[in-house]
Amino acid sequence: MQTYTAEKRAYLKGLAANVRRLREEHDPPLSQTDLYEAAKVHRTQLGRIEAGETEPRVMVLHALADALGVTIDALITGLPVPKERKPSPKGKRDGK
């Protein structure tokens, strides 16, 4: 579980850096306010994404990518594929 947590934290920090970089490189550069309004996501949600504190759903990633004028691929460029997966709750993997 420790490896999973460390990989997830690193992945979310990388995603955060990509979103922030793409927002700042946009022509013209976008503020967080500009981006959350264009993507129609809540301001705190964008703040948490850029802080690496939350794992956004695919629809949110799609909305952000669209607002930034990029593909979802651009949001995850350079991020390693996590090797560990979140363990199943005890008993679920045995069909109980």
* DSSP assignment letter at 92: G
Interval 76-86: pLDDT, tens: 999 988 887 77
pLDDT of residue 82: 82
CA 4, CA 21: separation in Å to the nearest integer? 26
Number of CB atoms found within 10 A of residue 17's CB: 14
6: left (phi over 0), alpha (psi -120 to 50) or beta: alpha
Residue 95 has pLDDT above 90, yes or no: no
Interval 47-66: pLDDT, tens: 999 999 999 999 999 999 99
Residue 93 has pLDDT above 70, yes or no: no
Pair 72, 62: CB distance under 8 Å: yes
Domain topology for 2-78: 434 Repressor (Amino-terminal Domain) (1.10.260)
pLDDT of residue 31: 97
pLDDT of residue 1: 76
Domain boundaries, the chain: 2-78
